[in-house]
Amino acid sequence: IRLPVCWSAHALNEKPYTIDPNFFKRMDWVVLEAIQREVIVILNMHHYRPLYKDPAGHKERFLALWNQIAQRYKDYPVTLVFELLNEPEGNLKAAEWNAMLKEALNVIRRSNPTRMVVIGPVNYNNIRLLNTLELPKDDRNIIVTAHYYLPFQFTHQGADWVGGGVANSWLGTKWTGTDEEKQAIIKDFDDAAAWAKENNRPIYIGEFGAYSKADMDSRARWTKFVADTAIEHGFSFTYWEFCAEQFGLYDPNANSFRKPLLEALIPPKKGL
């Protein structure tokens, strides 16, 4: 599972930027519950929006948060993976991010020299910007992540956080699985695979999904094709998201999975 945690909302704004001990205990419980069930946990730093707006002003705090997280979990099993930052964007451009990620890795490596760390490119972990990512060549315990929500007009139709209300004009957009639609996805994944081969880095599709205002048939069709294409390219993936209303795989009100999406990701065994 990929666990999105807004650490910045639970830590002091001034030095020494201490993370709330009670919040840490809550995260301990979540991580241990998963690990005890033999589930890999990708523990990330999510929604640190002030960092996107003012990278220089928040760099020290960002590094301090990671120092605390790394120290806290240094003795946990290898099935705990760190993810440096969800979707770097805004004023956190490629040059700034490449410099900052190296500093963050140095902080983590002091206490977790071989733990796997997930890192992605700027502009919301854009799969088409992998070539802007600069990683330390001697650190091979890195997994590169990219997020995939293309075509955006389909996956985000009706999404109220898309600026200017433009997403409502996309309502009714379908994804029917035409050759042209499929080839657009294949090309993006082919390009990512070529980059991965050239740089000898594994690729992990950390997020993909289609918003609930799209029709379910299209959502399931698109989700299955993206998942299948990822598998064909040897990419690991996590679907966004588990049980929130917008993209959720699971319906907490009905206490059941949304079957078309579940079967798109995990096809039922034949004969069952």
The catalytic site residues sit at: 87, 207
Determine contact, residues 208/239, Cβ cutoff 8 Å: yes
Sign of torsion, CA 59 62 66 68? Answer: positive
**Residues forming beta bridges with residue 147, ordered by sequence position:** 126, 207
**Helix extents (H) in the chain:** 21-35, 49-53, 55-72, 94-111, 122-125, 152-155, 179-199, 216-232, 259-265
Task: Please tell me what DSSP assigns to residue 77.
Answer: -
Comparing CA positions, the residue from 251, 163, 237, 245 lying closest to residue 202 is 237
Residues belonging to the chain: 272
How many whole angstroms separate alpha carbon 82 and alpha carbon 45? 9
